[in-house]
Structure 1
């Protein structure tokens, strides 16, 4: 029993020494405070980062405002496309009937309307028979057997004109592709 008592006291002494050593280490780390230069450098770094973040925020919001102003009238432009299509159909029908004065009058109104929309950023997506099919600008509504070998996988007919507002496609050109 005395042996157990001695071992127990020895373990307590070791634990006490370890605790004392840990306390000394923590007091040393507590007493090691950063210098004024280190604090100043840290605060300066935080300031520079915050300033850069704010400048990026200003640039981003300015860009967003400009994009909003540029594309704010997208819905109105999309609504006007049906009127533009109606003008094109009317010109084709009047040309068939042969009344030259009516045709000139409608064409003048059509050109004025189209020019006004163009001034606001509307552009026609140019599509011709034989062009490569491009999903970024074209929408294939159907495929038919190609009339010739060179038209396989290419545009055979344009059903509806496509339009862009500045750089964005607001209506894809509806096309027929050859298979």
Structure 2
């Protein structure tokens, strides 16, 4: 009987140890499951943060690019404005320049002596000042092809020679450029 009681006690102990092992294993598996869920949540959180970080980087790059484009455009516009700021004044001075040229030519035709030096000095000073502001006359146009972007055709006359057909025969009024922009179109006569 004693042996039977001992055997029963041993079985009870074995069952208790076995249940304890099972509950420990269950707890460990629950802990592992919890930690794997936590790592899944952590991985999910990391992915969200990485995606959000990437979106913010892209937004920053777009904004930076837009700002750079804006800065370049405004600086280009500012330079253009500075170059052509005096355009209105220069346009108003061009007829005066033309009058000076005509007066000097008239003086040369009237007298065989040297033309009035005062007129020539004032003319040269005016030309020098306008040149320093970026104004330059169009090059010699007679014999060159007509360009509607640079010239204004006043009339067409029969070409004096075959090689002048469709080309500029005479310049009535000289054209001027301010930088690369046409301030006044050259008024020309075209041969046909």
TM range (shorter): 0.7 to 0.9
SS of equivalent to 1:132: coil
SS of equivalent to 2:116: helix
The yes-or-no answer on 1:86 pairing with 2:99 is yes
Structure 1 runs (4+) greater than 2 angstroms displaced: 99-105
Normalized against structure 2, the TM-score is what?
0.72
- Within a 5 Å distance, the mapping from 1:1-179 to structure 2 comes to 35-98=48-111, 100=113, 102-179=115-192
Aligned equivalents of 1:164, 1:129: Cα separation in 2: 17
Aligned equivalents of 1:68, 1:165: Cα separation in 2: 12
SS of equivalent to 1:128: coil
Shift of 1:135: 1.4
For the 8 Å contact 1:127–1:173, the answer to whether it is kept is no
Normalized against structure 1, the TM-score is what?
0.77
Radius of gyration: which is bigger?
2
Aligned equivalents of 1:119, 1:143: Cα separation in 2: 35
Shift of 1:101: 5.4
Structure 2 runs not aligned, ≥5 long: 1-43
Shift of 1:84: 0.2
RMSD: 1.7
